[in-house]
Structure 1
Amino acid sequence: MQGKILIVDDLPDLRATIRGILQDAGHITQTVATQEEALEAIRTERFHVAILDVRLDETDEENREGLALMHKIGDLDPTIAVIILTGHADVGMVQDALQPGPNGVRAAFGFLQKNELEKLTDTIESALKNYVGISGNLDIDDPELVFPKIAQQIRFKDLAKPDTSILLDELQELVAKLLPRCKKIQVKMINQGFSGAAVIAVIPWYRTNGKGQMLIAKLGELPQIELERKNYSEYVEGMIGGHRLPKTISVARTRLLGGILYTYAGMEKVQDFGDYCRAARIEEILSTLENLFWNTCEPWAAQTGQLILNQNLRIVFMKHLRLTDEKLGLVLERLIGKNKSFIRKGEDHIALASNPTEVFVNPVKFALDTELRADCYDRIIHGDLYGNNILVDHHNETWLIDFERTGPGLALQDFVSLDNYVRMSLYENIDLQTWLKWERLSMVDLPEFPPESQSISKPFHISQKIRDLASQTHYYDRKIYLTGLLFNALRTATLLGLSIYTRNHALLSACLISEELAKESNHVKNLNCR
């Protein structure tokens, strides 16, 4: 297997000797002479192994910079296997330095004396296999250019985005770590969220067993994947009574990225829920929704839950959807004004630019200034149940993916999230006046949709089915449901990755939902305060 090796030694002759040995073995190498050069190289490039001389200044017998560098590399990138080179006189000191720390992990993979360089190649191979986690060259069949797309679109919350070429190398290494027994894989994108994290389908070919069953991998920024792993372990793994939930096969990381590999027993020939709804007949879709909520979601969470009295719904939904006052304010700035589809009508109202006489409640001001409270049922929810996180197989069975937001939350949120998704995503571009007509119809408890084209009516029929299923639960409350729709619609309006058509539709939907909530004057009291 080929690794990328950093060689750190102050002696040019020794650097050249080690470099020659490793290049002859097929590895990629880079050499530096100082601790500072080594740290700069690691910050800008990806390495699998670092070979460090204990003394980085041979003129100073007390020099131990190599050991200091070992710990700095561990802090900067713990996935690098460190191999210490030492002279005979330093062996005891190095052995003491390599004792496991409080976390039980050694600071270095191992050490070699400088007169043992004939063992270097085997030591590198062992480090790559047993520490780094790659055991052979993996042939990746990527006809859709999945990895370049992920590398281009992934975002980092607290770091400057590295060069795309570095991310592409890390993605390829990551899947090699997730699938160490494979000689070849074929990958296909299932979805890539707004964070850039991606869910992909993987068809593996094993070195000994040939072609295997399709697997699902989630790849993304390391903290995201660590959170998903935590939530999966706590809320999904070992759950009794649920159906169509995955099991984890492996978890891996590089310096910047993380990945989880899932297996779904019996799953094959899947598509995400959005693609399924665009192709399937409405009767099939309505049956699949029952399967989704009653057979996949409900048993999973039915064992958990509690009633929480007098919850502030604005706080609850904004926290779950990661909304802030500032983000909501940007909705008004970006979608309302000159040369836009909406215009202001004072502070409390807005109107369609194409029909200024039809005035609506300003949904952002309503959402921020209106106290919306209710007794709510909390339980374990998926937390991000929209079309790309639901897979449908050729038997119309449903499967869940992506558990980054899984955990305790308002029981109705999963219904609300999917309802919002189908109305905002599953339609051809239609004008706002037509959208307004259909949205008004959807606010009626038992709407009778006119016999227009299926591309327009289908999402609203699906939406009504979701609301019907939600109303059959013991925790259904119309005010909570509408409030959830309001904040989910406003969140959609903030997402710049969506088209301007979708964001305008989301804002118009929020207008109508705000008016519905305002009608319930005996339940919703405007306090003009927080």
Structure 2
Amino acid sequence: MNRFRERSETGMTQGYQYGMLNPKPRVLIVDNDPRTRFVYQDLIFPWGFEPVLALGERDSLIRDAKEKAEQMCCCLAIIDIDLINDYDEEDTSGLKLAKELKPVHSIVLFGQSNQKVLNEIIGRSDNITFVKKTDSPENIRPILEEEARKVCAIKRGLHITPPDIFENIFQTELSDLVGVYPDQIADVLAQLFPNAHSLKIEKLETKSVSSSISSVPRPKSVILMAYEDDYEPVIVKMARASKISIEVERYYEHIAKRLTGNFFAHMERHAVLWGVGGASYSYVGDFDVKTFSHYYEEQPIENIEECLKFFFMNTWSRHYGRAQEVENASLFELYGKVWGDWYEKRVQNFVLPIMRPISVYVSLKRLDPIEWLKQNVAENPARDASRVARTKVAVTHGDLHAENLLIDSKKNAWVIDFERTGVGHILQDFVELESDLLNRLPYSGESYDDLFDLWLNVTQPNELGPIPLSDKTPGDPEIRKVIQTASILRTLARECTGITDFRQYLWGLLFNTIFRATIISKDEPHKRSQTRALLLASAICRRLEQMPVE
């Protein structure tokens, strides 16, 4: 039976059940008195909560509480303030535990003897409510219900439509993050919109119109449009909890109050639970917004140029104005600082798939770009071929593919998704967007000959700047459009950064293309995308071999 559309005996759909049949908020109960544990267990179960009992004594009790809170994805807790010694007036081990259970809203039970200590710390305790032990256990119900309404969609009665939006979300890999507790998705939304009575959710389309395969895999995230009650929509990103935490940190470090004008998405709220988190962003400009991938396919090159100029020369220009020069820099290391351990995780143990004897691969002398990267850069630091005498670093978006760049009907361009935002090679964003276009181009041919001509055109220049069109430029209009757009990006890169060394740009294209090739699924529908990325990487390697070193 479909768990998202199961019906009750009355035939009514289970309303806002958020992907679960009758989900109950899980409440962790932590007390060093076993009898008290069972008292609260028996009390809260008929109130519509699922009690989770921490077992053990002293330190083992605290360890078990932490383990069970995470395993059961608890959102609430009832904790005795003195878990180690009931007779020690300064024992606040329960309060310390409550502070460490960050996704959890806790109710801490304290005795009269704890009052002095409590008065000193009560104002500094977020997400914690204090209740006297002398109160009757039954009196905790209104407090527990009030806390539950803050963090649980089901307890607030938040109405989320359409009902099948959860089915769509769970078809992504977010389902792996929430496990058997998919109500976390709804709870994140409830915390992002604390005053909402209803939410209408739409999934922001991120796939290319002309391709059934997204050019950029999003293994652990989803982008949504959310309409709260009768307000205008906002954008919501949901992803792994740790990724949202990083995004929040980088947003406030590099984006808030640091970009020119108002054309950047303002983070309004964020919420992080055990497996998943979310961040909501305000819209910029009007609400007729398209991803750049859609806009690119629908609009003429003149409009595309106008939007790209707006973004790089206005929205992001302040970061380029604060660029710093660096000497004797490894471009491989600069990209690694933005992407983390991408090489160790994705590339180091990557096995090149069997490549058919197509003419392009033969023309490239069967060059394996992964082995080439290892031998010339990654595993030979003393002879790192990507090292340059001089370059610049600046704050880059770090993930500027065509689905993170949004365009409205007035040609305003702005970005979302700041998880990788930070100091990096100043050309990185220009390179990443071009790499996305080169790999996104719809192509159904078997020989790759037309693509090979495209790659030759974009890799042959000796200096960073416009790409000249000639009689040898492929005549296919889609290929010419990619070349024209790449030419615009390179012209902007030169104007915004002052760098003319095309070799630096090519290195960035190589890293981005290999990164893409190693994250694409190896299943049959994605095999061609991976093959073309690897062939493009091979072509870039050949061109780098031909270029003079500074």
Give the shorter-chain TM-score range.
0.7 to 0.9
TM-fit CA distance, 1:365: 4.0
Q: Does 1:478 align with 2:502?
A: yes
Q: Report if the CA contact (8 A) 1:135-1:180 is conserved.
A: no
Aligned in 2, Cα 1:504/1:62: closer, same or farther, shift over 3 Å? same
Q: Report if the CA contact (8 A) 2:177-2:275 is conserved.
A: no
Aligned in 2, Cα 1:277/1:286: closer, same or farther, shift over 3 Å? same
**Partner AA of 1:359 in structure 2:** K
Q: Report if the CA contact (8 A) 1:139-1:185 is conserved.
A: yes
TM-fit CA distance, 1:376: 0.6
The percent of aligned pairs where both chains have the same amino acid is 20
Q: Report if the CA contact (8 A) 1:134-1:176 is conserved.
A: no
TM-fit CA distance, 1:385: 0.9
Aligned to 2:468: 446
Q: Residues 151-166 of structure 1 correspond to what in structure 2 (within 5 A)?
A: 152-154=172-174, 164-166=179-181
| Root mean square deviation, CA, Å | 3.7
Q: Does 1:394 align with 2:409?
A: yes
**Partner AA of 2:239 in structure 1:** G
Aligned to 1:306: 324
**Partner AA of 2:450 in structure 1:** T
Aligned in 2, Cα 1:228/1:11: closer, same or farther, shift over 3 Å? closer
Q: Report the secondary structure of 1:5's partner residue.
A: strand
Q: 1:507 aligns with which of 518, 528, 534?
A: 534
TM-fit CA distance, 1:269: 1.8
TM-fit CA distance, 1:399: 1.3
TM-fit CA distance, 1:42: 2.0
C-alpha separation between the residues in 2 aligned to 1:238 and 1:73?
Answer: 33
C-alpha separation between the residues in 1 aligned to 2:401 and 2:133?
Answer: 57
TM-fit CA distance, 1:420: 0.1
Aligned to 1:462: 485
Aligned in 2, Cα 1:286/1:30: closer, same or farther, shift over 3 Å? same
Aligned to 2:422: 407
C-alpha separation between the residues in 2 aligned to 1:293 and 1:147?
Answer: 37
Listed one character per residue, the Cα deviations across residues 21-52 of structure 1 (whole Å, up to 9, x for unaligned) are 5456x532326373457555423213332224
C-alpha separation between the residues in 2 aligned to 1:149 and 1:17?
Answer: 38
Aligned to 1:345: none
Listed one character per residue, the Cα deviations across residues 446-503 of structure 1 (whole Å, up to 9, x for unaligned) are 1337574444443333223222322334233211111111111111111133722122
C-alpha separation between the residues in 2 aligned to 1:235 and 1:17?
Answer: 50
**Partner AA of 1:149 in structure 2:** I
Q: Report if the CA contact (8 A) 2:192-2:278 is conserved.
A: yes
TM-fit CA distance, 1:178: 0.9
Aligned to 2:440: 425
How many residues are treated as equivalent by the alignment?
489
Q: Report if the CA contact (8 A) 1:382-1:405 is conserved.
A: yes
Q: 1:256 aligns with which of 257, 267, 275?
A: 275
Q: Report if the CA contact (8 A) 1:194-1:497 is conserved.
A: no
Q: Which consecutive unaligned segments of at least 5 residues does structure 2 have?
A: 1-15, 17-23, 207-215, 377-383, 461-466
Aligned to 2:133: 113
Aligned to 2:227: 203
TM-fit CA distance, 1:361: 4.5
Q: Report if the CA contact (8 A) 2:217-2:519 is conserved.
A: no
Identify, as 1 or 2, the structure richer in strand. 1
**Partner AA of 1:309 in structure 2:** E
Aligned to 1:519: 546
Deviates more, 1:511-520 or 1:115-124: 115-124
Aligned to 2:245: 226
Q: Report if the CA contact (8 A) 2:238-2:244 is conserved.
A: yes
Q: 1:82 aligns with which of 94, 101, 106?
A: 106
Q: Report if the CA contact (8 A) 2:398-2:421 is conserved.
A: yes
TM-score computed with the length of structure 2 as normaliser: 0.77
Q: Does 1:270 align with 2:263?
A: no
Aligned to 2:78: 51
Deviates more, 1:275-284 or 1:414-423: 275-284
Listed one character per residue, the Cα deviations across residues 175-213 of structure 1 (whole Å, up to 9, x for unaligned) are 1111111111122233595341333221111xxxxx111
C-alpha separation between the residues in 1 aligned to 2:499 and 2:364?
Answer: 35
TM-fit CA distance, 1:225: 1.6
Aligned in 2, Cα 1:165/1:453: closer, same or farther, shift over 3 Å? farther
Q: Report the secondary structure of 2:144's partner residue.
A: helix
C-alpha separation between the residues in 2 aligned to 1:114 and 1:396?
Answer: 63
Aligned to 1:291: 310
TM-fit CA distance, 1:108: 4.7
Q: Does 1:328 align with 2:342?
A: no
**Partner AA of 1:220 in structure 2:** A
Q: Report if the CA contact (8 A) 1:98-1:106 is conserved.
A: no
C-alpha separation between the residues in 1 aligned to 2:283 and 2:500?
Answer: 31
Aligned in 2, Cα 1:132/1:67: closer, same or farther, shift over 3 Å? farther
Q: Report if the CA contact (8 A) 2:405-2:415 is conserved.
A: yes
TM-score computed with the length of structure 1 as normaliser: 0.80
Q: Does 1:364 align with 2:370?
A: yes
Q: Report if the CA contact (8 A) 1:10-1:33 is conserved.
A: no
Q: Report if the CA contact (8 A) 1:147-1:171 is conserved.
A: no
Q: Report the secondary structure of 1:476's partner residue.
A: coil
C-alpha separation between the residues in 2 aligned to 1:515 and 1:462?
Answer: 23
C-alpha separation between the residues in 1 aligned to 2:417 and 2:133?
Answer: 47
C-alpha separation between the residues in 1 aligned to 2:262 and 2:126?
Answer: 41
TM-fit CA distance, 1:81: 2.8
Q: Report the secondary structure of 1:359's partner residue.
A: coil
C-alpha separation between the residues in 2 aligned to 1:71 and 1:107?
Answer: 13
**Partner AA of 2:251 in structure 1:** Y
Q: Report the secondary structure of 2:201's partner residue.
A: strand
Q: Does 1:279 align with 2:292?
A: no
C-alpha separation between the residues in 2 aligned to 1:414 and 1:165?
Answer: 38
Aligned to 2:464: none
Q: Report the secondary structure of 2:246's partner residue.
A: helix
**Partner AA of 2:343 in structure 1:** T
